[in-house]
Amino acid sequence: MRKKGITYGGIMDKVPVAKSTLALWFKEVKLSKPQIQLITKARLEAGLRGGATKKKQRIAKMHSIIEDAEKKVGHLTDRELWLIGTTIYWAEGSKEKEWYPGSGASFINMDSHMVQVFMRWLKFCSIEIENLSFSLYIHENHKNRVSEIKKYWSRIIGLPVSKFTEVYWKKNKGNTKRKNIGDKYFGIIKIKVKRSSSFLRKITGWTRGIYNGINKR
């Protein structure tokens, strides 16, 4: 079996002995170059099979953990939606500066789920669709996909394509480490609330309330 290019593992599947025993048995066995190549090839193939199996196991475990965690969230109350949306804005929204008062509320992101939650939050806060404007920021090497990208965000937000008229081009970097550079890239969307300086100040108060509430726990 050894001279046929079968690895130690393959032999041990058929002969129930320890690896050290095989090493002792084969100590004096001289293999030709073709035989060594066969064994090397078999080892590489076994490694690839093992790696693929482990990858499948990791992916299955990942999905299992995510699904179990998802079930634990359950139904969200209006108060929870309000706090979640406020926290999302706190992380991703524009802020008013004391040296530049009067600025409005705007939110920018590329995560479609987060954008949908943000839109639900705006509706909960009684912000009308007519009071929103939308801008898209797209890498310039995706100019040929503008129509497709607009349709994507139209579907995500549930508004006509005509709402997405403002498009800004981002310079393309030669050596990018981004993974979303193919057909799954849909740029970044900016949602701006018109005439919203008072709304932005409310959000600032809500975020301070969250901070103070956590510190009092």
- Percentage of the chain with pLDDT > 90? 59
Beta-carbon contacts of residue 104 (< 8 Å; ≥ 6 apart): 94, 192, 193, 194, 195, 196, 197, 199, 200
Q: What is the pLDDT of residues 128-155, one digit of tens each?
A: 999 999 999 999 999 999 999 999 999 9
Confidence category of residue 41, pLDDT binned at 50, 70, 90? confident
Decide if 139 contacts 146 (C-beta within 8 A): no
pLDDT of 174: 57
Q: What is the pLDDT of residues 62-111, one digit of tens each?
A: 999 999 999 999 999 999 999 999 999 999 999 988 766 778 999 999 99
pLDDT of 33: 73
Q: State the average pLDDT for the chain.
A: 88
Measuring CA to CA, which residue among 185, 201, 175 is closest to residue 137? 185
Measuring CA to CA, which residue among 87, 74, 104 is closest to residue 207? 87
Average pLDDT, stretch 156-167? 94
Rounded Cα gap, residues 168 and 139, in angstroms: 8
Does residue 157 have a pLDDT over 90? yes
pLDDT of 99: 63
pLDDT of 181: 65
pLDDT of 97: 80
pLDDT of 175: 58
pTM of the predicted model as reported, rounded to 2 decimal places: 0.72
pLDDT of 180: 59
Rounded Cα gap, residues 62 and 56, in angstroms: 10
Does residue 189 have a pLDDT over 70? yes
| CA–CA distances in Å: residue 171 to residues 7, 168, 174 | 53, 10, 10
Confidence category of residue 216, pLDDT binned at 50, 70, 90? confident
| 78-92 and 197-215 helices, crossing angle to 10° | 100
Beta-carbon contacts of residue 47 (< 8 Å; ≥ 6 apart): none
Token representation of residue 65: 């953990």
pLDDT of 164: 93
Does residue 47 have a pLDDT over 70? yes
Task: Report the Cα 22 to chain-centroid distance in Å.
Answer: 48
pLDDT of 5: 72
